[in-house]
Chain A
């Protein structure tokens, strides 16, 4: 098993390094992520286990694997610090639940590819940081996001997807709006009357016979 793990690690690293070549990734989105992870299947968990592997996801997280739940929960902490601002603590907002809802709209093939990509993101950090993303301290984790934002197509894809999911999961919640003075929905608040359907065009032969339903 150890040899297998080592062999897998070597293959993962080779594929990963190939992925750094821009031309390899010109047409790679999440499908490319899936290809890398297919090579890595079964090997990651053997590279570095995390204490979080033994922690179950909450009962509501039926649309996320336990590993995905822990990844997004860690990303929430890393991406949404509120110290020094008057913003709302992300721990009081259902960020990961909202991420789960968004992911539920993906078609099965894309969802599978994204799952592979998330697994890759969590695990491949072992090569550079000696631990999985879920176990990274906040500082190095933020540096990782910034560095990958300048990296290969694959790195940019993964960081963008994770950031957008977490940001959206937080900022869509009305509880986060008051500190920014964002007004949210206003029509009902302002009492704007409904105008209804536009009248039939004047040249219409039935325009003069309009009747309300």
Chain B
């Protein structure tokens, strides 16, 4: 049993500021790269089995008390590339957490199980016959219980969710409360800046302290540069510990016969490409999907104050199945800085008038089931996220925008702003087709954001067409595992955090 006491708050993290030696060498049973959804769950599951576990996180350790609830500051402190991670064309912001706890610290708490029709696709197209709804259900049950996942109560549906729900009911569309991993929500609306009072059940306050209670060690500021092998099997990693001023504090080697990559769907393939491993199939870094999202804002006659109350309240699942459109709509709160990114009401006075009336705005997030057309590349100096919305997916995006506009109008909105680079305002049903059909699938035209990168180390039965097996182990390198959203063979339409938790739990248990 661990000699470390369970902490009531915060974590004991080895940080760059603590480093004295210039070379650190550790021995472990398992070294885990990344401390987000996959890494933290794996760490807990393996540590409680008595394994010596070391977790390496490239980002800093920011305790909850240090969260500012200032979105701009949070982008700098908690997000990958200070919030500036984008695709090669610069028109798709790929937001990922880069801190201890990873994206679970900065997400909107939304929890969907993997839709069964997605699992059926995986069984049929990727030979993942084990991954049935029945097989995964116990894992979902367990992580949902551990993370206090529940349907939003009425008090957790903010004004922006209430108006959307009313509109959906008028249209006869299926609308449901979102399920979220949160305890006693403080209704601050600042989820994307980290939950300051530790109500969001992120990895920072759940699986990481639990893993630590069983003896897992956590190192922040520690970027893994290479996965090591001996005789073709995983044998550890090499890493660099960097101070917050950018200077190198130390080099680190962790020797371990099991390596779990859980750095996220952008960083995990980069690490494999840097290491030259597990790419017999040529699929490492390929098949990138990301649920390119739009936040469609609308102006209402009455104040909404979209920054007040729980960030996300309800969702419309009427169109979730690909046969019905392949998209989901979620009501979404936002603050002033985010609001500037949503709409193009015109330059100068029109824009300032739009912002002066900010309290009358409400938003809808569109998530589409995109195809896996992107790639992550490493050129020896920089990563590249090559992704453009495919022509096959563009109609889905248009359908999602139209549905969002229709829903806003039914909810009582007077103006709907299409999130494009040019001014497009919808004031009635008659405007919808004109304003949306004339959109082009061209770079820098739609203002897209991705919170859900996936697919770059695809899971499958065929070693010539996939990177990892159903148990998370790479086909090519025994002892080398992937346990993050990289392994999802297709995009899953819905927020993927619970899927990653469940798969990581399963992978860790199969390892033992």
Contacts and interface: CB of A to CB of B under 8 A. Distances in A.
Interface of A: 22, 25-31, 78-87, 98, 105-107, 109-110, 138, 142-143, 145-146, 149-150, 153, 156-157, 159-161, 163-164, 167-168, 171-172, 176-177, 179-188, 190, 192-198, 200-201, 204-206, 209-213
B68 A185 contact: yes
B70 A150 contact: no
B442 A22 contact: yes
B141 interface: no
Contacts of B348: 78-79, 81, 138, 142
A38 B7 CA distance: 56
A213 B197 contact: no
A192 B335 contact: no
Given A31-B88, A183-B307, A194-B9, A25 B183 contact: no
B197 A192 contact: yes
A206 B213 contact: yes
A194 B65 contact: yes
Given A195-B184, A197-B209, A200-B210, A181 B359 contact: yes
Nearest to A150: B422
List 6 A-B pairs, minimum CB-CB distance, nearest first.
A185-B69, A29-B90, A105-B82, A167-B340, A156-B444, A172-B72
A198 B201 contact: yes
A85 B352 contact: yes
Contact of B349 (A81, A167, A187): A81
A109 B81 CA distance: 13
A206 B356 CA distance: 54
Contacts of B210: 198, 200-201, 204
Contact of B337 (A22, A160, A168, A200): A168
B341 interface: yes
Interface string B118-160: 0000000000000000000000000001111000000000000
A186 B5 CA distance: 32
A187 B197 contact: yes
A98 to B, nearest CB: 8
A171 B186 CA distance: 24
Contacts of A145: 347
Contact of B442 (A153, A172, A196): A153
A190 B190 CA distance: 13
Contacts of A187: 69, 186, 188, 190, 196-197
A29 B384 CA distance: 12
B183 A210 contact: no
A211 B443 contact: no
A136 B88 CA distance: 31
Given A164-B341, A198-B205, A198-B206, A79 B351 contact: yes
Given A106-B84, A180-B359, A182-B307, A194 B442 contact: no
B90 A161 contact: yes
Given A182-B307, A196-B198, 9 more contacts: A29-B88, A29-B90, A87-B355, A159-B421, A160-B91, A160-B421, A197-B6, A198-B146, A198-B205
Given A186-B188, A197-B8, A206-B6, A172 B349 contact: no
B441 to A, nearest CB: 10
B48 interface: yes
B8 A168 contact: no
B198 A146 contact: no
17 contacts: A26-B443, A29-B91, A30-B90, A81-B352, A149-B423, A156-B421, A172-B73, A182-B359, A185-B190, A194-B65, A195-B184, A196-B198, A197-B9, A198-B201, A198-B209, A200-B213, A213-B5
B206 A180 contact: no
Contact of A182 (B9, B84, B358): B358
A71 to B, nearest CB: 15
B444 A153 contact: yes
Interface in B175-229: 183-184, 186, 188-190, 196-199, 201, 205-206, 209-210, 213-214
A210 to B, nearest CB: 5
Residue in A28, A98, A168 with the greatest tally of chain B CB atoms within 10 Å: A168
A149 B335 contact: no
Contacts of B337: 167-168, 171-172
B31 to A, nearest CB: 23
A164 B198 contact: no
Specify which of B68, B91, B347, B352 lies most central, judged by the most chain A CB atoms within 10 Å of its CB: B347
Contacts of B86: 29
A153 B443 contact: yes
A160 B183 contact: no
A213 B148 contact: no
Q: By CB atoms of chain B within 10 A, which of A81, A182, A210 has the most?
A: A182
Interface string B1-26: 11001111110000000000000000
A193 B73 CA distance: 22
Interface string B58-89: 00000011001111110010000110101111
Contacts of B90: 29-30, 157, 161
B356 A85 contact: yes
